[in-house]
Amino acid sequence: MLMSYGKVDESVIERLRKIVGDENVLVAPHHRFLRAASAAPFPLHKWHVHAPDVVVLPGSTEEVAEVVKLANEKKIPIVPRAGGTGLADGAVPLKGGIVVDIKRMNRILEIDEENMCVTVEAGINNQTLNMELRRLGYWWPFDPASFPVSIIGGNIGTNAWSLIPGVSGHIRDLVRSMVVVLPTGKVIRVGEGGGKKISKSSIGYQLKYLFIGHQGTLGIVTEATLEMFPLPEVEFPAFFGYRSFMDAWRNAGKMAKSGLRTMATHIIFDEEKIEALRRDDEAYIPLPAHIKSVIATAFYGTEAEVKGAAKRIMEIAAKDGGVYLGPELSEGDWASRHDRYHISFHGRHLDGQVGTYSWHCEDAAVNYSALPYVVKRWHELVKEWKRKYDIFDDMGGFYYNNNAFKQWGDYLSEIDVFIDEYHLTEETWQAWLELKRRIAEVVLEVGGSISAAHGGTRPGDVELVVSKELDPGVYEIMKMIKKMLDPNNIMNPGKYLLDTAYE
Amino acid sequence: MPTAHTYKPWYKTPWKDDWIPDEVAVIDCYTTFACRHKFCREVCPVYQVTGNESYTSYGFHTALLAVKRGYERLSNLGDTFTYCLQCGACQLRCPDTLFAGDFYRVPKTTNLLVTKTRSEIIRLGFKFKGSDDILKAINKVVEDFETGRMPLVDWAKDLDIPREGEVILFYDYFMATQMTNVLRLWAKILKTAGVKFGIIENPRPTLLYELDYLGEKGVKLVKENIDALQKAGAKTVVVADPHVYVSLTQDYPRFIGSDLPFDTVFITDFVWKLIKEGRLTPKKSVNKKVTYHDPCMLNKVSGIWESPRNILKSIPGLQFIDEDHVTQWYYCCGHGASEVGSFKIMHEDISYQIGLRRLRRVVELGVDTLVVACPHCNQQFNEVKLKAKIDIEIRDISEILAESLDIK
């Protein structure tokens, strides 16, 4: 039997005001509609379906816990919201309710220079944290594409991904412990064993990872103790040009096995990506016409280490005809890596005119050996949809090293699809979801995973995630855990289709 | 050179209670709502203090998009649109502005959007927090000016400055009444360099971003200032107040629909050129450890950040601890763009918190003096400093330079 939810009426609003203060309870439509969407393509024609009933901005763990307790008592859905830059709709309400926006909780609580960790409230932004640590000579080495704006709580909630995993891993590798408000309002600290600042313990179950990547379905993280790194002496980006994607792919295989420990990443730009950059990217530095594909590499470490690595990577690149593209392009492009992933005026219609395009970024995890097949199939699919509907555009693909502290294994595989979201109708929205499913099916066909970075909670992904990607026994365990921790199904209900646990 | 404001026609259309943005407006609103970056948020001084994303560039644009889609009414937006300093950080940090702005003519113009929304809400008779007080403050300035109660040229009495010239030193009521020492020093510095310059007898209040609230009366003030400057023979207008500078370079062209008939130069740009040409040589050692605060109207809205730094670097003995101008996109003194201090009228505590954050940064740098180049920053920091009991000296850049030039 599906649960029925309680209403957000005046008495609930009044109690929320008592908990977080009048100015931190927002009921006017423009506040609520603002928090209906995150950063993935959004069905604007169904905006109202996703608007929450009320938004609260709590200022402490205690306030979050009180709000959650109230919601649990009244059986009102809760949707946690941090930066709102997630690409799996984690922060998009599916059943109205209360959006708990944690961005007011943005203080640094402790910088422990002896044990090299920093404790923060979960509403702090990555760049802000890094700016503060840099003043002291340290580095917050988590580097999602949304680095200037995404927020720790959301990064943890989505098991977010870093562009430089080779030297510092992903968010799951950077959290020592955290405070989580459970769906009943109970507050726990979960980490390695019982330690707040311990990096590895064999005590108890490994529950820390349960609270990383649950997309807000199991609670709200309010505080985290995170790794900090010494500021690297040097940063060295090096870009190489190739005559074809296949040359670049072959060379990436050699780079992956180079054993260079200062290598943060290597990223393949496919032929469609280079075309799209040539056509539309204002910051693009022109390359000779015979360069059809690129590999970007980046190194962090001591000067001595990186000098040696730089020499070696040049030698490896040359083996498949890779040409070093010089410091201006390498440093400029690497420095602006966070700044231009979506410009509305880059997507184009069939007649070549720009439109009001929004951006979708596929983020499957695909093994090295399967890349050429996936790349070929994906571009065929997107081009077919572009021809059919003329509201999609193929902006090419990136294939990023996906591996923490190493370069081999699999790639975060991103095809960038631009979508004229402003002109979506229900028909074209359904066409988009169909394309999304077809893209995901290719990934499952080769034994990959649908999302390396964002999560599998979006329509178009989620049906395949629960019916095809996850082992049925595993999904069964997810449902059992969900029902056990959240007896009233109030935490971000509907995500991962976990409603079925309550049937 | 057309400014961004002159090619966004929707800013000219009057709105109605049941107003629905036209398609051109919607492109602005939609692309800001749909933007995947949201860089406008973290860079916003108001957001840094409130943690409320409704008070960001995408918050404002989304609110208007919600009006377009029939989910919200204009009369409901007033209070939300008070939470803006109009410091310009968001529109500058916007990737659409940075990468596609010039080519597709789509730079974000949030400062003006806030002006437009506030003025339409006022015109339609809706109120928002502080709107009466703001109107009162603005009308008082205009009244004081019209009745001749303002001592607009008294500061120059003993300086023998003509009322004409190809170079005119320009300011408005604010500096003439509250920052006369700075005006006097700039005038003496120009004289020391042998610059032939004049002033005008009755500079009208420029009231940055808020002339719109006055309707026709506002347009009249614009035209009178331009006329007076032309009659005085101005070819170059050297402006001493960053807010007045933005009025002349960005608001005035919008009101008259064309470029001004003279060049407008900010005083630090003008004076740095004099130093480069050797017409001024700072000689006397100034033994201070200073940092510089970029006024939003110069750094974020006008792109002027080099000349004040160059001037400071030219002064012997001065220890200058610089914070780069891009980091300072995140900062504001808390006063905001309004000359009458509208943001402070509406949100006194947030204004104070923003100023306090900035002053604490200054203290962390271990300097004894904060150098400013804007009379409003000067006033605001002095207030914050007193209230928070922070021990730091606030000096205008003209004072530091004058000391080195041995001008009293």
B271-284: pLDDT as tens digits: 999 999 999 999 99
Per-domain residue ranges of chain B: 4-128, 135-275, 281-404
Q: What is the mean pLDDT of chain B?
A: 94
CB contact under 8 A, B99 and A148: no
Find chain A residues with C-beta within 8 A of B41's C-beta.
149
CB contact under 8 A, B98 and A339: yes
Q: B107-120: per-residue pLDDT in tens?
A: 889 999 999 999 99
* Interface A:B, Cβ pairs < 8 A: 127
More confident residue, B104 or B249: B249
Under DSSP, the state recorded for B64 is H
Residues A227 and A326 grouped into a single domain:
no
Q: Into which CATH architecture does domain B135-275 fall?
A: 3-Layer(aba) Sandwich (3.40)
In a domain, A471, yes or no: no
Residues A251 and A164 grouped into a single domain:
no
CA A40, CA A462: separation in Å to the nearest integer?
14
Residues A342 and A318 grouped into a single domain:
yes
- Of the pLDDT bands very low, low, confident and very high (cuts 50, 70, 90), residue B293 is very high
Please say if the pLDDT value at position A224 is more than 90. Answer: yes
CA distance B363 to chain A (A): 14
Find chain A residues with C-beta within 8 A of B66's C-beta.
29-30, 33-34, 47
Please say if the pLDDT value at position A37 is more than 90. Answer: yes
CB contact under 8 A, B42 and A343: no
CA distance B323 to chain A (A): 12
Least Cα distance to A174 among A98, A116, A127, A106 occurs for A116
Look up the CATH number of the domain holding residue A226: 3.30.465.10
Q: Strand A263-269 and strand A293-301: pairing? A: antiparallel
Residues A205 and A290 grouped into a single domain:
no
CB contact under 8 A, A344 and B39: no
**DSSP of A298-309:** EEEE-HHHHHHH
In a domain, A500, yes or no: no
Residues A197 and A314 grouped into a single domain:
no
In a domain, A482, yes or no: no
In a domain, A501, yes or no: no
Please say if the pLDDT value at position B4 is more than 60. Answer: no
Please say if the pLDDT value at position B46 is more than 50. Answer: yes
CA B185, CA B408: separation in Å to the nearest integer?
8
pLDDT the model gives residue B1: 35
Residues A206 and A290 grouped into a single domain:
no
Please say if the pLDDT value at position B406 is more than 90. Answer: yes
Q: A154-212: per-residue pLDDT in tens?
A: 999 999 999 999 999 999 999 999 999 999 999 999 999 999 999 999 999 999 999 99
CB contact under 8 A, B95 and A127: no
In a domain, A52, yes or no: yes
CB contact under 8 A, A30 and B72: yes
Kindly state the average pLDDT of the residues B142-163.
95
Q: Which residue from A minimizes the CA distance to B68?
A: A30
What are the Cα distances from residue B378, in Å, to A181, A334, B115, B178, B293? 45, 39, 24, 10, 10
CB contact under 8 A, A344 and B96: yes
Residues A244 and A280 grouped into a single domain:
yes
In a domain, A481, yes or no: no
Does any CB of chain A come closer than 8 Å to the CB of residue B144? no
Does any CB of chain A come closer than 8 Å to the CB of residue B51? yes
CATH ID of B281-404, from 3.40.50.1860, 1.10.357.10, 3.40.980.20, 1.10.1740.10: 3.40.50.1860
CB neighbours of A214 closer than 8 A, spacing ≥ 6? Answer: A157
CB contact under 8 A, B37 and A354: no
Kindly state the average pLDDT of the residues A435-456.
97
Q: Are A347 and A395 in contact (CB under 8 A)?
A: yes
CB contact under 8 A, B42 and A33: no
Please say if the pLDDT value at position B97 is more than 90. Answer: no
CB contact under 8 A, B38 and A149: yes
Find chain A residues with C-beta within 8 A of B357's C-beta.
none
Kindly state the average pLDDT of the residues A441-466.
96
CA B216, CA A267: separation in Å to the nearest integer?
58
Residues A444 and A374 grouped into a single domain:
yes
CA B73, CA B64: separation in Å to the nearest integer?
9
Residues A249 and A397 grouped into a single domain:
yes
In a domain, A492, yes or no: no
Other Cβ atoms within 10 Å of A92 Cβ, number: 28
Q: Are A247 and A298 in contact (CB under 8 A)?
A: no
Domain end among A458, A475, A490: A458
Number of domains forming the structure of chain A: 2
Residues A161 and A291 grouped into a single domain:
no
pLDDT the model gives residue B13: 82
Q: Domain limits at A69?
A: 1-231
More confident residue, B34 or A70: A70
Decide whether B135-275 matches B281-404 in CATH topology: yes
CB contact under 8 A, B53 and A103: yes
Kindly state the average pLDDT of the residues A287-315.
97
Which of A33, A34, A64, A85 should we substitute to test contact with B (largest number of B Cβ atoms within 10 Å)? A34
Please say if the pLDDT value at position A83 is more than 70. Answer: yes
Residue A158, H or E segment: helix A152-158
Q: B147-157: per-residue pLDDT in tens?
A: 998 999 999 99
CA distance B53 to chain A (A): 8
Domain end among A179, A203, A231: A231
Residue A476, H or E segment: helix A472-485
Kindly state the average pLDDT of the residues A314-338.
95
Percent of chain A with pLDDT over 70: 99
Q: Are B392 and B370 in contact (CB under 8 A)?
A: yes
Find chain A residues with C-beta within 8 A of B75's C-beta.
none
- Of the pLDDT bands very low, low, confident and very high (cuts 50, 70, 90), residue B5 is very low
Kindly state the average pLDDT of the residues A446-475.
96
Find chain A residues with C-beta within 8 A of B106's C-beta.
344-345
Bridge partners of A70, per DSSP, are none
Does any CB of chain A come closer than 8 Å to the CB of residue B236? no
Which of B24, B26, B28, B36 should we substitute to test contact with A (largest number of A Cβ atoms within 10 Å)? B36
Which of A33, A281, A343 minimises the CB distance to B62?
A33
- Of the pLDDT bands very low, low, confident and very high (cuts 50, 70, 90), residue A87 is very high
Kindly state the average pLDDT of the residues A244-260.
98
Kindly state the average pLDDT of the residues A373-387.
98
CA distance A387 to chain B (A): 24
Domain end among A208, A231, A254: A231
Residues A226 and A241 grouped into a single domain:
no
What are the Cα distances from residue B406, in Å, to A229, B275, B399? 49, 15, 10
Look up the CATH number of the domain holding residue A426: 3.40.462.40
Please say if the pLDDT value at position B96 is more than 90. Answer: no
CB contact under 8 A, B95 and A358: no
**Is ipTM beyond 0.90?**
yes
Does any CB of chain A come closer than 8 Å to the CB of residue B407? no
Kindly state the average pLDDT of the residues A435-452.
98
Does any CB of chain A come closer than 8 Å to the CB of residue B148? no
CB contact under 8 A, A344 and B34: yes
Q: Which residue from B minimizes the CA distance to A282?
A: B99
Does any CB of chain A come closer than 8 Å to the CB of residue B101? no
Q: Does residue B366 sit in helix, strand or coil?
A: coil
Kindly state the average pLDDT of the residues B44-72.
95
Strands (E), A175-272: 175-181, 187-191, 220-227, 229-230, 234-242, 263-269
pLDDT the model gives residue A3: 62
Does any CB of chain A come closer than 8 Å to the CB of residue B77? yes
- Of the pLDDT bands very low, low, confident and very high (cuts 50, 70, 90), residue B6 is low
- Of the pLDDT bands very low, low, confident and very high (cuts 50, 70, 90), residue B3 is very low
Lowest mean pLDDT among A284-293, B221-230, B260-269, B369-378: A284-293
Residues A191 and A296 grouped into a single domain:
no
CA distance B84 to chain A (A): 16
Please say if the pLDDT value at position B2 is more than 50. Answer: no
Does any CB of chain A come closer than 8 Å to the CB of residue B68? no
What are the Cα distances from residue A146, in Å, to A62, A323, B379? 29, 29, 37
pLDDT the model gives residue B101: 75
pLDDT the model gives residue B15: 83
Find chain B residues with C-beta within 8 A of A85's C-beta.
36-38
